[in-house]
Every structure is written in C-alpha cells, then in structure tokens.
Structure 1
Amino acid sequence: MLPNHSELPSFPPFANWKGISQYFPVQADSVWLNYCGTTPVSTYAIEMMNLYFQEYAKYGIFAPNFAEPAIKASIRGYIAEILACDPSEIGIVHNTSEGINLYSHSIQIPKGKRILVLENEYPSNVYPWEHWKEKGVSLEFIPVGKTPEEFLFNLKQELEKGNVYILSLSPVHWCTGVVFDLEAVSQLCENHHTKLVIDGSQAVGHIALDFGKIKVAFCAFAAWKWLLGPLGLGVVYLSKEESKGFKLIFKGQASVVNDSSYFPYRDEWKPAADQFEQSTINFNDWIYFYASLRMLSTLGFSRVRDRIYEVADLFKKALHELGFSLESDAFPTIKTGILAITGHKDPSKFQPEAIQSFLKQKGITTAVRLGRLRMAPHIAIEEEHVVRVRDALKEYLSLS
C-alpha cells in the first residue's frame, strides 16, 4: 500500500522556477553554493516530517500515511526511475562509505588482480578498498587528465594490462566537476572483463544515468547532495547479475526473510539489495528523503538537471565577464553543475581561500578543493542570487 498522496502536502510544479527559493530558507539571507557538498532542508520536507511526527505521536508505527513498506517502495521507485533500473536492485544505507565497504568486504577478488580508482578520489571510494592490499590485490590510481577524453585514454592504457578486476569510478569528479563518458567507460570495462563500480554521490540527480544501458555491478551514493536528502542516509544499487549468489558479510536481524517473526531463527536471506538494511532503520530520515524525492519528481528529474545546468551557465557567464577561468573551460560542450574556478586574468587576484572567506562574510557559501574555488548551484538558486554573487566578487576584485 502506497502513501495516500491526496492527504500529503503538495508541491507546485514551478513552470518558470520563479519563487522556488522561498522553499529553501537558507537562501533568504544567504546564497548556498555547496549543493554538491551538503544540502539544507526545504520547507516542503519540514512540512512532510511535521505531518509524520503528528501521525506518529497519535498512531505510533501505524501512522496511516507513512507505513514503512510503502515509504520504502516509494523511495525505491523514485531512485529506480532516476537510474533506469528495477526497484528490487535498490537498497538503503547510511552513506557511501558504508555501502562500498559492505560490498567490498562481501565479494571475492583473485590474488594478483588490481582495483583502479580516480586520482584525487574522495576517501569514501578509496578507504573501503584498502583492505584488499593485504590480500594480494593492489589498489592503484588513474590520472584524471585535463579532459574527459584524456581520462579515457589513461583508463584504456590501464585496462589493456589485463589484470584490472574492478574500476570504482566517480562519474563526476568532486573537486573539478569534470564529467566522464560512462557509456564509453562501461564499454571499455566490458571489453576487458572488468567490473564497473560507481560512487554516485556527485552524479545521481546531477547527470543522466541509465543503468539499463550502462553495465554497472554496484553503485553507492549519498542522499544529501544533488537529491536534497538528509545527512546520514545513502543508497546502494546492486545489479541483478551481481546479485546472483551474493551474500553480505554481515547478518543482522533484518537480513532474513520474514524478519518481523523472530522465531525460529532463519537461514534464508532476503534478496541481495535488501540485505544492506541490517536492522531497524532511522525512519525519520526516510521520510525526509521521501519528501525530497517527491518534490524533485513533481518538478521532473530531467527538468531539475536542466535547471542546474542553466543556473551553472549563468554563473559561468558572470565569472568569465569578471575575468575568472574555470576547469570546465577545457570541456565546454559537457554539462556540469560543479563550477571549479581555477584562476583569474590577473593571477595575483586568485587566492581561493581569501575569496571564500570574503564571500562567507557576504553570506555566500562556497568550498575550496584542490586549489580551486568550487561553486555548485541547485534549483534553489535564482537569477537574483547569481547577481548577488557577481556583485560580491566584483567588490572583492576591486579591493584586492
């Protein structure tokens, strides 16, 4: 039984996006430009959670609009729509590190094989693989290069050595915003009998993904970035092919079928993706995530992506006019919502930490990564916010 949508808060479709920032209180007195880092809560999610708390106070776990199986089915359905996969391939965890660790410790890799990850990869996609080094499997890094084409060349060279068992890739680099050609990557992996694993935290909700076309064994990602979900919630995808014979390294109360009947103890495990949910979950986070996904679905997942690119382009134009250069200048035809500022026509004026500090005093939140000033807008950013950031940067340049 799915939630009774007629009794739940609705969200307007925002045909032209005007006024949508009012649903994001963080934008009222500031400009949040770190949506690829963490995302502040929307008033829509607050309203949904308030309704849940009211029902939970009255009915406990029998809250009529928020039955756990129904909320889980809805979350899986939304994620399956985004990834173009089957809902049964989706599981819910706490974060990317947990998901990749659970997968990494549950599989077998022959001694002498290699695992490849990106150069300067986020730690969540590095540390979970390190235990393999003690088991005769090496962990190595692929140079990113300056363009997606250069990365593919570097990857091809590594795969042609013939001993790469897993490529664990972030389709969007968290520091630079560079987007890799997943179809080409997937084909290279297939050609060289390499499993493709994805850290999707910077990709899911940001770029188009079709797991029906791209052969991915496993994927894990955070809910609190481009999907506007809560901190401390993540998602895993385990393909049907990879699920065959898969058994998680840990067994918890919820690992087995009919887990709500505690006796007799059971040996029959749940389907593979369900195994990642070990026991009682933080259902509050599920409601928050459900609300965010429902909001994005109302707006249209592909339309949201297009809006992210549209706002990013407004920033690109403003930044170029101010004399800044961007990482994406090297791949201008590829869409990305992560703007990595790499320099200025006057090199003395590009001091990323100083710019970040100045912007923070103006209520503008950015990040510094690998010597770049990173901005990442989302649907909560409107044209007026772009103007505010532009004016602040213009002031900084005049004072520096």
Structure 2
Amino acid sequence: MPRDVCYLNAASYSPLPLRTLEAGRAAVLRKGTPWTFDAAFANRQHERARAAAARLVNADACDIALIPSVGYGVATAAKGLPIERGSRVLVLEDDHSSPVLEWHARAEAQAFAVETIRRPGDGDWTSAVLACIERSGAPPVSLASISSVHWSDGGLIDAEQVGAALRQRGASFLIDATQGAGVVPTDVRRLDPDFVIFPTYKWLLGPYGRAFLYIARRHQGGIPLEQTAYGRRDVRAENAVYFTDTRYLADARRFDMGERDHFISMEMASIGMEMMAEWGTAQVAQRLSMLTTRIAAGFREVGVSVPEPRMRAPHILSLSFKDGMPAGLVEGLATEGIYVAARLRHLRISPHVYNDEEDADRLVAALAGRLRR
C-alpha cells in the first residue's frame, strides 16, 4: 500500500494481500487453460477453504458450507428453521439487511412477528438485546438473527450472554459475523449457536462473493437451498449410472452453493483466512484496539463523541457530531488520501493490520483541522 494512502475502511472492503493478488493472477491464467489441472483440483480448493473457515470459529470442516453471501446463508437457515406461530424473531435496529429482511419476508405467511431491538441510548447493545429477550409478558422468542458487531457503529454484542439467554427459552441463535470473524473471538464449541455466517471481503482480507456458513449438527438434516449433485452421496457423471445414490450427504457439505467451483476466488479466500488464523484473533484484536484507542484519544478536544471502550468492538470506531456530520467531510478527507465511511449519521473508522500509528495520527490531525475550520 502506498505510504500516502491512509485507508481506514476495512469494514467496507479490505485491500488484498500481495500473496492473494498473485494467487488471483495465477488462477485467472489457470482458468484460461483448464486442461492443466486434474480432476481432484476443485475439491482440494473446496476443502482448503472449508478448513480455513472452520479454524476461525473453532468448528470442524464438516460443519461448514460454502456459500456466496451472508444473505444466502440466512435464506438457507430460514428454509429449515421452524419458527413458532405467534412467536418473535428478534433483529437489531439499523442492522445490515442480510440478517433482517429474510424474516420480514416470511413473517406474514408463517404468522410470527419481527421485533426490532431499538438502538440503546447508552450504546449498550448487549443489555438491550437481553432486555428484549427477557421482557415479561411478551410472546415467546423463536430466534435472534443479529450481527455480533453492529455494522454501522461498531457496537459489540456479547454473544455468550445472548446465547445463554436464548437457550434458556429454547430459542435459536443466528449470528452474522461479517464484522467480527477473525477479530472478535467466535468459538462455536463454547457459544453453541445454530448458525454463524461470514464473508471474506472485509476483515478476512479476501475476495468478494465468497462466504461461509457454520451449521450446528442439530440442523444438518435439513433441505438445502439448492439441489446439487455434490450435495448427494453418489450422483456423478463418471459413474455408469448417474443417479446412483441421491440421499443427501450427512453433514453441512449438503448445503454448499451451486456452481461452487470458483477456481479463481476460492484459493484467494483461503489465503486471507489462513493469514488471519496464523496471526491469531487475540493478537489482531490487541493491535487494532491500540489503533482505535489512539484515534479516540485524539478527538477528546474537538467536540466529537466516541462510544465507551466496553461498548464497542476493538476494530471499529464510530464518531458522532453534536450538530450532525459536516457535509462533505468524507469526500474532503479522501482528497487528502484518507479513506473512511459515513454510516447512518456517523463517521465510521475501521483500521486493519496494514495500518499503523502514523495512519491514526494523520487521521486525527486532518479531521481535527477540518472540524475547526
């Protein structure tokens, strides 16, 4: 990355590591000469990516499905997840569309209510979620479909507390880990969620269009969103009989997307996830927390509000302004080579492992200068 580029917008898209770029170039050439790879090549790519995704959430590879997007994963979960009539499905106010809209689309036909947990004034999303789950006299909760880190403001939700409260009521838990996987610890063996979904194009330093779905084993007997040959036990063109055994595979592989042979981007996704796993969630979180803390400290004297550290994820900082965010602020910073994002009236800052203290100080100086002017 050029030294004059101060890119603090990983929560939108991350750039690709050099190793990943080189793998992508080589893969494009490989696709141009498909006679050069053997019949087992695609499966090796699939299983490498599946294992890398499983490592990030402490799952077994057989519990991971290859999918194209978070929305696809939510739709897969919704197809097989029974929602009791008259019950509630909980979502977060202003959460990303992916874990929300599927339930709105199903609510009327399936006779359940989608309840939106309002943004807490004190920034404590965990307490707000728990209060909604535990509210006396409310209809039963069937499901909470929420992000572990709120995409717009970096609000952190304690998945362990929320999961425990849901289990006490026999409710299911779907976690959109888009803004958390690789940075915020997500251990499915300890949390026991029903579904965890995450893509690679943000914090996992990977390409767009690759995502992964963890499915708890109690749900692996469901019907996939798509019907594929490789989701069945023995439907192969190489066989003398094509439809030899049409029973589904016994694990999460039955839920793999159609056209999963992404020769170009599957390896790229694996590389980014493997790099993040090798560095370690704790080390990455510590580094990024240092940067966001440094940035937050720099804004104490310029009239900008920053959420308390205990309320926010270590890697996303959301700034609010007393009189609203000044017009043209994001665009103005971009003219100085500083890249951040406007999200729902806030300025979202999201550094990653390629950022350093110089980037943090440069942002503070530039933003403070613009606000004073």
Instruction: Settle same-fold status: TM greater than 0.5.
Output: yes
Matches within 5 A, 1:14-25: 25=1
Indicate how the Cα distance of structure 1 residues 158 and 171 shifts in structure 2: closer, same or farther if over 3 A, else same: farther
Indicate how the Cα distance of structure 1 residues 74 and 353 shifts in structure 2: closer, same or farther if over 3 A, else same: farther
1:269 aligns with 2:248: yes
- Identity in percent: 21
Matches within 5 A, 1:279-298: 279-281=258-260, 282-298=262-278
Per-residue CA shift, 1:53-96, capped at 9, x if unaligned? 455556646269x9322222222222222211111111111110
1:336 aligns with 2:314: yes
1:248 aligns with 2:228: no
2:168 pairs with one of 191, 199, 202:
191
1:312 aligns with 2:287: no
Per-residue CA shift, 1:201-259, capped at 9, x if unaligned? 1111121111111120112222111111111111111011222x312243123321234
8 Å contact kept, 1:352–1:372 = no
Indicate how the Cα distance of structure 1 residues 149 and 128 shifts in structure 2: closer, same or farther if over 3 A, else same: closer
Indicate how the Cα distance of structure 1 residues 54 and 120 shifts in structure 2: closer, same or farther if over 3 A, else same: closer
Letter in 1 for 2:13: T
Per-residue CA shift, 1:86-136, capped at 9, x if unaligned? 111111111101111122123332322221111111111111112322221
Letter in 2 for 1:275: R
For residue 97 of structure 1, what is the aligned residue in structure 2? 71
Per-residue CA shift, 1:135-172, capped at 9, x if unaligned? 21221211241214531442333487352111111111
For residue 56 of structure 2, what is the aligned residue in structure 1? 82
Deviates more, 1:125-134 or 1:181-190: 125-134
Letter in 1 for 2:267: I
Letter in 2 for 1:271: A
> Which secondary structure does the structure 1 equivalent of 2:83 belong to?
coil
1:357 pairs with one of 317, 331, 341:
331
Q: What is the distance in 2 between the residues matched to 1:276 and 1:267?
A: 14
For residue 348 of structure 2, what is the aligned residue in structure 1? 374
Deviates more, 1:258-267 or 1:270-279: 258-267
Letter in 1 for 2:328: A
Q: What is the distance in 2 between the residues matched to 1:112 and 1:376?
A: 40
8 Å contact kept, 2:80–2:219 = no
Matches within 5 A, 1:100-179: 100-133=74-107, 134-145=109-120, 146=122, 147-158=124-135, 161=138, 163-179=140-156
**CA offset at residue 396 of structure 1?**
0.7
8 Å contact kept, 2:6–2:359 = yes
8 Å contact kept, 2:126–2:156 = no
For residue 204 of structure 1, what is the aligned residue in structure 2? 181
Per-residue CA shift, 1:298-336, capped at 9, x if unaligned? 43343222222222222112222544221x22x547542
Indicate how the Cα distance of structure 1 residues 264 and 122 shifts in structure 2: closer, same or farther if over 3 A, else same: same
Letter in 1 for 2:134: Q
- TM-score relative to the length of structure 1: 0.84
Q: What is the distance in 1 between the residues matched to 2:299 and 2:291?
A: 12
Q: Which runs of 5+ in 1 are unaligned?
A: 1-24
> Which secondary structure does the structure 1 equivalent of 2:114 belong to?
strand
Q: What is the distance in 1 between the residues matched to 2:59 and 2:136?
A: 27
1:46 pairs with one of 21, 34, 41:
21
Q: What is the distance in 2 between the residues matched to 1:105 and 1:342?
A: 39
- TM-score relative to the length of structure 2: 0.89
8 Å contact kept, 1:106–1:249 = no
Letter in 2 for 1:341: L
